[in-house]
Chain A
Amino acid sequence: MIVFGHRIPMTGSLLLWALLWEIVGQLKLTILLPPLSRVVLRAFEIVPTETFLSAFAVTASAFVAGNLIAILVGVPLGILMGSSVVADRIFLPWVNLFLSAPLTALVPVIMVLFGLGQTTIILTVVLFAIWIIVLDTRAGVRSISPSLIEMAASFGAGRWQTFRKIYVWAALPEILAGIRLGVIRSVKGVIIGQLLVSIVGFGALFKLYGSRFLMEHFWAVLIVLFALAFALAEAFAWLERRVEFYAATRG
């Protein structure tokens, strides 16, 4: 936005909202909303504590493990679906189904099968992340320019060489896009899983602060969490932009 000839960056409006929050908090309009300044101070106080760090470690390890599984299974499956019509026909309906289904409903199933622990959270992360990775990888493989494949064939490249030298690189922008979207979805997944299981990680923390009505603590954790999620999404977006030109030949 431009005010009096000065361009004010988009993030400027976040400051405006923060100010509004501070005012509402100071006026004590609702007990739910403590002033932002106190929340931020509380955040600095909470983050170094054992409780927070262990919750973070538990969450991060489930998140990383789940995403790794989703990538290791999802990318090869996507490449298979992108290059084989039969595999595509077999798997595509299920991938599409799980992509738009309310996966939250499946968390109770995972809970009764695998108990109320870390395994359940990891599986929830996989469940949220994997489908978009598969679908994007498939799209990446399918949008590879046919002439690039012909080019490799004309110089005598074998199947494995074509896969290694062409497919993986040409589909990389889409694969990374899939991973980025998968990461965003699984951040939501890990929190939903922890809220439903409610005795691990941040889920337990929210329950604790909620039951004791510690609003400043609650908001502090929430803000840290949102900031982490946003930073993670932006980091992947940055990575993706760096390889965007790999797809440059597409019409």
Chain B
Amino acid sequence: MTALAHQFFTEPSPVTDCAVSVRNVGKVYAGVVTALENINVDFPRGQLTSLLGPSGCGKTTLLKIIAGLLPATSGEVLVNDLPVAGPGPERAFVFQDFALMPWANVLRNVAFGLEMRGIAKSEREEIARSHIAQVGLAGFEARYPHELSGGMRQRVGLARALAVNADVLLMDEPFSAVDEQIRRKFQEDLLTLIAREKRTFIFVTHSIEEAVYVSDRIVLLSARPGRIAQIIEPAIERGGDPDAIRRHPAYLDTVDAIWQSLKTYLE
């Protein structure tokens, strides 16, 4: 890391209030492939933390372990100081491929999480409607996923995750299946969402620019077996104009520094 770059992003400050804490987590697939090794990382409450690394570094694996969708081979994950034994109501997942049920309309898809919690139909539909409106899909409640564009489908996926009112939102490359222009719009919307919702976001991405643009913290993972290479906090002011971020010198330098660091993993 160059001395110059250090001006623009800092090493992590100690986390005082963490929503999610990953302790010594390791993951071995089928007894032979080590995907993750000795991962120790805290995710500060109310902020967005990205997991970034070369492909195959286990970032999605780590996210799914936090979600309780995959068991860790060793170590543990604490959410609100309680160990994770499986999926829980305080976490909600946004899927890369949206994972919408094609046979259910937008309303039923968004209400699915509430339905699983046994909330009465009229109540869950009311909650779902307000979240559908919030992601800008009012009027599309009765449509089916195949009638929507990719961007709209991911809004449905997001509304579904927001509807269950979870503390922690886990997002697995949520914008990778939409086109570049929609993605930029989503990234801007995400910043607004973080500012408004005060929830904890854990965000997996393979795009350096995206990570630097949206994150309060970035956890850099090394190539397989995934270990934590570095944790950085881009020194970017996020209060103002979202377009200003991409022109911010700290943005450009952080992107470049991360690229220089990740480049070493690519043959």
Contact = CB atoms under 8 A, between A and B. Distances in A.
Contacts, number: 73
Contacts of B100: 249
A145 B145 contact: no
B186 interface: no
Given A156-B117, A157-B116, A150 B69 contact: yes
A170 B103 CA distance: 8
The residue in A150, A155, A166, A169 that gathers the most chain B C-beta atoms within 10 A of its C-beta is A155
Given A154-B67, A155-B164, A148 B99 contact: yes
Contacts of B12: none
Interface stretch (A11-19, A31-39, A240-248): A240-248
Contacts of B101: 148, 165-166, 169-170
Interface residues of B, number: 30
Contact of A245 (B67, B87, B102): B102
B93 A245 contact: no
Contacts of A147: 95-97, 99
Contacts of B67: 154
The residue in A151, A153, A165, A166 that gathers the most chain B C-beta atoms within 10 A of its C-beta is A151
Given A245-B102, A245-B146, A247-B102, A154 B97 contact: no
B93 A150 contact: yes
B103 A243 contact: yes
Interface in B66-101: 67-69, 86-89, 91-93, 95-101
A153 B69 contact: yes
Interface string A154-181: 1111000100011001101000000000
Interface of A: 145, 147-148, 150-157, 161, 165-166, 169-170, 172, 243, 245-249, 251
- 5 closest A-B pairs (Cβ-Cβ)? A151-B99, A248-B102, A155-B113, A154-B93, A147-B99
